[in-house]
Amino acid sequence: MAPTTIDLRSDTVTRPTPAMREAMMAAPLGDDVLGDEPTVQALEAKVAALLGKDAALFVPSGTMANQLAIRAVCEHGDEIVAHRDSHIIQYETGAPAALSGCMIASLEGPGGLFEPSQVRAAIRPKDQHAPVSRMLVLENTHNKGGGTVWPVERLSAVAAEGRACGLHVHIDGARLMNACVAAGVAPTAFTSSVDSVSLCFSKGLGAPVGSALAGSTALIQRARRFRKMFGGAMRQSGILAAAAIHALDHHVARLADDHANARRLAHLVAGIPGISLEGAPDAIPTNMVFFTVAPALGSSQEFCARLARHGVAAIGMGTSRVRMVTHLDVTAADIDRAGAAIAAAARGA
């Protein structure tokens, strides 16, 4: 890709800033598997406090954080309740089935959200014929749903219903800090009503690698064992944890800039013939902009290929849907250039 490309494929594309690289260079290191990695331990304590849980575990990816929660909670044959568009169903390579032997009961609802009554309705009878309903997974922000933020009250109500039904409630919080900044609340507003939370440092927070799982001491002990089994236990991983600590200290409040840039992009895209923005420009919830391209403009892949020649990278999701994600390596001026490029690509240029 040309160095001048404005990369809106994902907020995972961010490169560590010079200050983050310095923090990584300066980090005291040990061996985390042998239990003496000071920087990893500092990160895990920081994340546990941030999310209001007993303990946390540093892991290589958000997928591993979610899958460790599932593996630590579920037995083979158990059922998980989750939205049909959730990351654990759509983008984790069937891992709940492959790694934990679980089925998933999928729910529908606008933006990746659903209601307490839907959770209740998905619970299996306690009968020898039925799988055991074991776990509920909520995604906040919801990626495929449009970067949606769960209203705090609604998430609490759904989580309470899940717990009343005997489920372990997990938040896939890959972009939980985006949700917090957008809603103007502390993470505990979302996490106090659930049992476990995953959080990615490698998305909008701008760290190169890494995620965390937080929960009770017992859950994290089990997850630590399965992290070893899944091959995710790391050694001098403090060099990565240092980047995550730096991200939490310096890159949370600025997520508001990404959200403003997403709205700016949405305003530019909204008026372009042949392009239908999902939602009103001022209602873009976080850092993701989704639109569909008219059939005359080709498939979303063809449209993105044309766009790439104008120096903008985006991902086609489905036949006509395009996703663009803002992040800390994209400025408002880049957004204006991207808007012009999208208009040109929509003219067939």
User: Which stretches of the chain bind ligand PLP, using CB under 6 A?
Assistant: 61-63, 66, 87, 139, 143, 172, 174, 200, 202-203, 211
Dig out the tokens for 1 from the structure. Answer: 């890709």
Q: How many angstroms separate the Cα of 144 from the Cα of each of 139, 312, 317? A: 10, 21, 9
Q: Quick one: 204 or 339, whose CB is closer to ligand PLP?
A: 204
Nearer to ligand PLP, 10 or 320 (CB): 10
Residue number with CB closer to ligand PLP (200 or 324): 200
Q: Give φ, ψ of 318 to 5 degrees.
A: 85, 180
Residue nearest to ligand PLP (CB): 62
Q: Minimal CA–CA distance to 342: which of 285, 302, 303, 315?
A: 303
Distance CA 66, CA 152 (A): 21
Q: Residue 278 to residues 49, 151, 266: CA-CA distances in angstroms?
A: 36, 19, 9
Q: Which is nearer to ligand PLP, 11 or 311 (CB)?
A: 11
Question: To the nearest whole angstrom, how small is the minimum distance from the Cβ of residue 268 to ligand PLP?
Answer: 24
Considering the complex, what minimum distance in angstroms separates the CB of residue 127 from ligand PLP? Answer: 33
In the complex, the smallest distance separating the C-beta of residue 211 from ligand PLP, rounded to whole angstroms, is 6
Alpha-carbon gap, residue 63 to 290, rounded angstroms: 23
Cβ of residue 284: shortest distance to ligand PLP, in angstroms? 17
Question: 3-class DSSP state for residue 7?
Answer: strand
Residue 213 or residue 341: which is nearer to ligand PLP going by CB? 213
CB of 61: closest distance to ligand PLP in angstroms? Answer: 3
* Residue position matching structure tokens 């993470």: 187
Measure the CA–CA gap between 55 and 213, rounded to whole angstroms: 8
